[in-house]
Amino acid sequence: MSASLTGTAVHSLWTVAAPADKFPAPHIEYAQLSPVLIVFGIAALGVLVEAFVPRKNRYTAQVAVAAVGLAAAFAATVALAEKGYGTTKAHIAAMGAVAVDGPALFLQGTILLVGLVALFTFAERRLDPRAHGSRVDSFAAQGSAIPGSEQEQAAVRAGFTSTEVFPLLMFAIGGMLVFPAANDLLTLFVALEVFSLPLYILCALARRNRLMSQEAAVKYFLLGAFSSAFLLFGIALLYGYAGTVSYAGIASVVDGTAPMTPALADTTGNDALLLIGLAMVAMGLLFKVGAVPFHMWTPDVYQGAPTPVTGFMASATKVAAFGALLRLLYVVLPGMRWDWRPVMWGVAIVTMLAGAVIAVTQTDVKRLLAYSSIAHAGFILAGVIATTPSGISSVLFYLAAYSFVTLGAFAVVTLVRDAGGEATHLSRWAGLGRRSPLVAAVFAVFLLAFAGIPLTSGFAGKFAVFKAASEGGAMPLVIVGVISSAIAAFFYIRVIVLMFFSEPRPDGPTVAVPSALTSTAIALGVAVTLVLGLAPQYFLDLADKAGVFVR
């Protein structure tokens, strides 16, 4: 060690003074990110409402703020699409972090609409009997109160309701908006966490069956944290391979079009980093999608979570996660098609079959719908695998069609109640068609759409993805798909049999008369199911136009 080295010189070994012009302020296209910004802004506003508005006005204020925010964000999305950001002006905003393109706008629009309908079901206060004179919703009086404790009883007596759910919902929606638009792996991860954390909390907030709800939340949280870790590890490996987290950057390294540097030459010689990284990132996404073998959380969480939350999760999470998966596979890794396709084939086949077969044995409506959502994830994967433009648009269409059926179905589940809250055990649904023909008929429409019977949106969606898969050369997937559809039809039909052909039980559940909020949610579900089933052309065109990713 020579004595001539001064302190600064030593420091300069591992630091370098940043020249002023190398660190510009990030350039953010605020207008193009307006949907996301509005939702996050409203979510923050919701927190302020929670802090400063008196308790008796909070519910009204929260619902109004959230509804206005979602509507405004949806309008912003439509305006962006109108201006051509979905097609000709598609580009990458916010310093490469977020893509503004067709699929992103389409999915954001879907998520916002789904979020708005979900908000209606969140805000429903007519179903639960009044607790000590005040109307209550499906959420715990006070989330922090231990179930069964004095404190909880006091909170119930005081007529508290958890109005925090509305800002939480908005944060989740905000994260979901970013998720399918994320254009680098870190944004992807941050978006994932932003929408997952509020969901974990929402899952734990059921008013009835609180222990089950909390158990569901813990399971979801633990497994979700696990999958986040996988995702993060995968991101690290991909970064190690490509030296960048940007989608376009990784894609060009995978293609071999990136300028070769000595550092790249070191890492790209070894495909293990890329393959393992890819597998781990895909695992993280497949977990959110609920594909087998990463589906274990789905039934428990769907069953335990408050039903409005389940409906929201089952639809919006799926839309966001499939959007992200599509972008990852189509933008980052098209060059790797021959590596990931066989694996995804396997996942799709197992998902379709396992979802359908296990659902047959279920006796709880919410668990049944959970397994059905797994089977549907498999059908959507069949479209993802097509790797054709029609693959993208068919998946977009399927997601839009599926999410409204799901929301509607779970909204119906909230109506069928007995003394202990929702009567979700299937045997309790016997003879529902005789007691309340309308509710049963509406649920039957949703089930038929799930089963993919022609003239419903479910059929149009299924046909679209199967057609895409067949065009993409995945005929075996189509065959497995129709076989699992036949199996799945069995349990959907069984519920219909139960509702219409069984004698009503004398102690059977009653059907609560909902307020306009849930009625709207259900009516919208039915309307979308029929419109997308009978005249889907406009929406198919929309999905077609939106079916090009920006790179």
Partner 1 sequence: MSFPLLTVTAVVPAAGAVITAAVPAARKTAAKYTALLFSLATLVLAIVALVRFDPDGDRYQLTESHAWIKDFGLRYELGVDGIAVTLIALTALLIPFVMLAGWHDADPLEDTNRRWRPTQGFFALILLVEAMVVLSFEATDVFLFYIFFEAMLIPMYFLIGGFGDRAHAGGEEEAARQRSYAAVKFLLYNLAGGLIMLAAVIGLYTVTADQLGTGTFSLQEILAARGAGKLDIATDTERWLFLGFFFAFAVKAPLWPLHTWLPNAMGESTAPVAVLITAVVDKVGTFAMLRFCLQLFPDASKWATPVILVLAVISIIYGALLAVGQRDIKRLIAYASVSHFGFIILGIFAMTSQGQSGATLYMVNHGISTAALMLVAGFLITRRGSRLIADFGGVQKVAPVLAGTFLIGGLATLSLPGLAPFVSEFLVLVGTFSRYPVLGIIATLGIVLAALYVLVLYQRTMTGPVKAGIEGMADLKARELLVVAPLIALLLFLGVYPKPITDIVNPSVHHTLSDVHKTDPKPALEAKK
Instruction: Enumerate binding residues for partner 1 (CB under 8 A).
Output: 434-438, 448, 451, 453-455, 459-460, 463-464, 466-467, 470-471, 475, 478-479, 481-483, 485-486, 489-490, 493-494, 497, 500-503, 535-537, 540-541, 544
CB of 309 to partner 1, least distance (A): 31
Shortest gap between Cβ of 471 and partner 1 (angstroms)? 6
* 38 class by beta-carbon count within 10 Å (0-12 exposed, 13-18 middle, 19+ buried): buried
246 vs 351, beta carbon nearer partner 1: 351
- Of 319 and 444, which has the nearer Cβ to partner 1? 444
Bridging pattern class, strands 98-100 and 91-93 = antiparallel
- Shorter beta-carbon distance to partner 1: residue 246 or 529: 529
What residues form DSSP beta bridges with 417? 422, 510
Q: What are phi and psi of 130, to 5 degrees?
A: -60, 135
CB of 502 to partner 1, least distance (A): 7
Residue 35 to residues 71, 72, 81, 196, 299, Cα–Cα distance (Å): 10, 8, 12, 19, 32
CB of 331 to partner 1, least distance (A): 24
Minimum distance from residue 424 beta carbon to partner 1 (Å):
22
Size of the chain, expressed as the number of residues it contains: 551
Q: Which is nearer to partner 1, 63 or 447 (CB)?
A: 447
Reported for 504-508, long-range contacts at CB under 8 A and 24+ positions apart, including other chains, are 504/430, 504/431, 504/432, 504/434, 504/435, 505/427, 505/428, 505/430, 505/431, 507/418, 508/418, 508/423, 508/428, 508/430, 508/431, 508/432, 508/435
CB of 347 to partner 1, least distance (A): 20
Compare residues 539 and 549 and give the one whose CB is closer to partner 1. 539
The residue type at 196: S
Q: Which helix (H) or strand (E) holds 353?
A: helix 337-360
Beta strands in 341-431 (DSSP E): 416-418, 421-422
Q: Which is nearer to partner 1, 194 or 448 (CB)?
A: 448
C-alpha to C-alpha distance for 86 and 83, rounded to whole angstroms: 8
- Rounded Cα distance, 466 and 470, in Å: 6
Instruction: Pick the closer one to partner 1 by CB: 482 or 513.
Output: 482
Q: Which is nearer to partner 1, 230 or 397 (CB)?
A: 397
Closest distance to partner 1 from the beta carbon of 442 (Å): 14
Buried b (16+ CB within 10 A) or exposed e, 74-85: bebbeebbeeeb
Helix/strand/coil for 73: helix
- Distance in Å, CB of 390 to partner 1, minimum: 8
Partnered with residue 511 across adjacent β-strands are: 416
